[in-house]
């Protein structure tokens, strides 16, 4: 079995003269969880849709589980699990009926009751999908994405509408899939979610890949320099330094005491992400 689940080389997608994905390249290893991050309109959804076979590329090379998505047939599609940002479910059927129907589409489906339990819908198993809350319907989307025991799972904003407790339960589910060797491509606007679940992160902005690397140590060395923050003369001040503790000690000596609100902050994934995408994140 090939060690690489997804290979993208010089991917390009244009509409007229406008490039929405411009020379993007990355690989995803089998069993890896890879988070593709970026603001709305950055090109990440287009990239994912090309990998899923929903959208045709303008240029470049793409291989997903050894197959070009533009030519992938039903056998190839059965190896994928896809959780879209939104999915219209048949509201008149129950959760169990919908999962039982979808399980029949796959050669090696998971047990329906096991999946219902995994997404926390045991009490709603006999409930019509139309009667579920938005967060519960989102759990049905996730259940349908994993029922076929996919080799590669696409998760596009999977926890939208989840409360904090439900998000944590979902993270536990993803970790179980990871231990089974499932390859996962995750897009999310929750940076803590990417930090918790991903092995590697890539940031796309204005159609181009801005940075890629492991969650620990993501970003260039300058972006990871710690920040010392303190309050002096009624103003909040900060300084980046490779030696934050020595700086804080020197600061205390200069002021005659430890300044109020003194803190040493190591830039988080969110800090580095915002520095990379800049104004595009809030546009």
* Residue with token string 């929750």: 190
CATH of the domain spanning 4-214, picked from 3.40.50.300, 3.40.50.410, 3.40.640.10, 3.30.830.10: 3.40.50.300
- Residue 220 CA to residue 225 CA, distance in Å, equals 9
DSSP state of 151: S
What is residue 283's predicted lDDT score, i.e. its pLDDT?
41
d(CA 173, CA 160): 16
pTM assigned to the model:
0.83
3-class state of residue 32 by DSSP? coil
Q: Which helix (H) or strand (E) covers residue 146, if one does?
A: helix 134-146
User: Looking at residue 271, what is its pLDDT?
Assistant: 81
- Which uninterrupted H or E stretch holds 21? strand 18-29
Residue pair 128/173 in contact (Cβ under 8 Å)? The answer is: no
Find out whether 272 and 225 touch, Cβ atoms under 8 Å. no
Domain ranges of the chain: 4-214, 222-282
Distance, in Å, from the CA atom of 222 to the CA atom of 220, rounded to the nearest integer, reads 6
pLDDT, tens digit only, all 283 positions of the chain: 679 999 999 999 999 999 999 999 999 999 999 999 999 888 999 999 999 999 999 999 999 999 999 999 999 999 999 998 766 666 789 999 999 999 999 988 999 999 998 888 999 999 999 999 877 888 898 899 999 999 999 998 888 777 788 788 888 888 989 999 999 999 988 889 999 999 999 999 999 999 999 988 787 777 788 889 998 888 898 888 989 999 989 998 998 888 878 998 888 888 888 888 875 554 4
| CA-angle at 161, arms to 5 and 64, nearest 5° | 10
């Amino acid at each position: 079995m090939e060690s690489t689940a997804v290979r993208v080389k010089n991917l390009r997608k244009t509409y007229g003269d406008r490039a929405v994905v411009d020379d993007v390249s990355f690989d995803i290893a089998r069993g890896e969880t890879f988070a593709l991050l970026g603001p709305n309109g950055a090109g990440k959804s287009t990239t994912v849709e090309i990998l899923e076979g929903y959208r045709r590329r303008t240029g470049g090379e793409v291989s997903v589980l050894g197959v070009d998505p533009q030519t992938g047939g039903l056998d190839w599609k059965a190896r994928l699990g896809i959780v879209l940002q939104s999915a219209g479910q048949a509201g008149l059927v129950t959760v169990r009926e919908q999962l039982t129907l979808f399980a029949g589409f796959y050669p090696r489906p998971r047990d329906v009751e096991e999946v219902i339990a995994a997404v926390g819908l045991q009490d709603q198993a006999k409930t019509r999908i139309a009667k579920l809350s938005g967060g519960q319907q989102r759990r049905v989307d996730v259940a349908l994405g994993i029922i076929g025991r996919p080799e590669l799972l696409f998760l596009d904003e999977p926890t939208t509408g989840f409360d904090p407790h439900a998000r944590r339960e979902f993270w536990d589910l993803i970790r179980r899939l990871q231990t089974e060797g499932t390859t996962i491509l995750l897009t999310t606007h929750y940076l803590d979610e990417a930090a918790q679940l991903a092995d590697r992160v890539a940031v796309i902005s204005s159609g181009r890949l801005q940075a890629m690397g492991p969650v620990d140590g993501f970003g260039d060395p300058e972006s990871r320099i710690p920040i010392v923050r303190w309050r002096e003369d009624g103003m909040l001040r900060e300084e980046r330094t490779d030696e934050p503790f020595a700086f804080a000690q020197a600061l205390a000596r200069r002021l005659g005491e430890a300044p109020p609100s003194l803190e040493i902050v190591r830039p988080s994934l969110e800090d580095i992400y915002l520095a990379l995408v800049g104004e595009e994140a809030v546009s």
